[in-house]
Amino acid sequence: MRADVLQLALLSGGLTYVWRYVPLRLTLGDMPKDGLLSRFLAATGPAAIATLFVAEMLPLLHGTQAVQGRAGVGVLAVILAFSWRKSVVFATLAGACACGVAAALGLS
């Protein structure tokens, strides 16, 4: 794996974590539950998971690389992590890390 790809993955994973962590620490208790900001913040977690999944599947769709094994490991890690902690942030990072480790180990 190239170093720039690893740096990009770590940066995007870290920013995703910060993006989900900071709103939890702000006092948003008086924010309307059906307001625009509330809906936007609720949608960022699933959007992050979907983005990581699509990024992993693109090489498969273009026929340039077989990624079924890595994608399977990543999806399984997301499901297990979310089942365990019920945290979208934790599940997203677990899936990205598992997929990265599988790629580093040469799993295709």
65-98 residue pLDDT tens = 556 777 788 889 989 999 998 887 888 889 889 9
* Cα separation of the two ends of the chain: 12
The residue range of the domain holding 54 is 3-104
pTM beyond 0.85: no
Kindly report the number of other CB atoms within 10 A of residue 17's CB atom: 15
Classified as helix, coil or strand, 67 is coil
Classified as helix, coil or strand, 107 is coil
State the total domains in the chain: 1
- How high is the mean pLDDT of the chain? 79
Question: Under 8 Å CB-to-CB from 57, ≥6 apart: which residues?
Answer: 67, 71
Separation of alpha carbons 86 and 92, rounded Å: 11
Separation of alpha carbons 50 and 106, rounded Å: 23
